[in-house]
């Protein structure tokens, strides 16, 4: 499916001991009378304290943070 809308963003967690940044692209189509709404999220890069940990993220951390990024992307898709 070709999505009609796209937004790029960064989901950030900043704590005393670390900064985590997840860069993503969020795609969506609001649908119409004939087609239901659809959406998709692509994680582009993950940085921990400025170090690229994208592969580690996919191997070990993906599920919980992916849900958080998904919710963030949906809430901020028009920003």
Mean pLDDT of 48-54: 97
> Which range has highest mean pLDDT (34-43, 44-53, 64-73)?
44-53
Q: 28-42 burial by CB neighbour count: b if 16+ within 10 A, else e?
A: bbeeeeeeeeeeebe
| Largest distance between two CA atoms of the chain | 50
Q: What is the pTM of this model?
A: 0.74
Using pLDDT thresholds of 50, 70 and 90, give the confidence band for residue 1: low
Average model confidence (pLDDT) for the chain?
Answer: 88
């Amino acid at each position: 499916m070709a999505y009609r809308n796209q937004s790029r963003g960064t989901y950030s967690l900043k704590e005393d001991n670390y900064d985590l940044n997840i860069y993503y692209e969020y795609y969506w189509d609001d649908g119409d009378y004939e087609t239901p709404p659809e959406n998709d999220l692509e994680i582009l890069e993950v940085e921990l304290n400025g170090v690229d940990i994208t592969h580690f993220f996919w191997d070990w951390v993906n599920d919980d943070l992916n849900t958080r990024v998904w919710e963030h992307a949906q809430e901020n898709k028009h920003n």
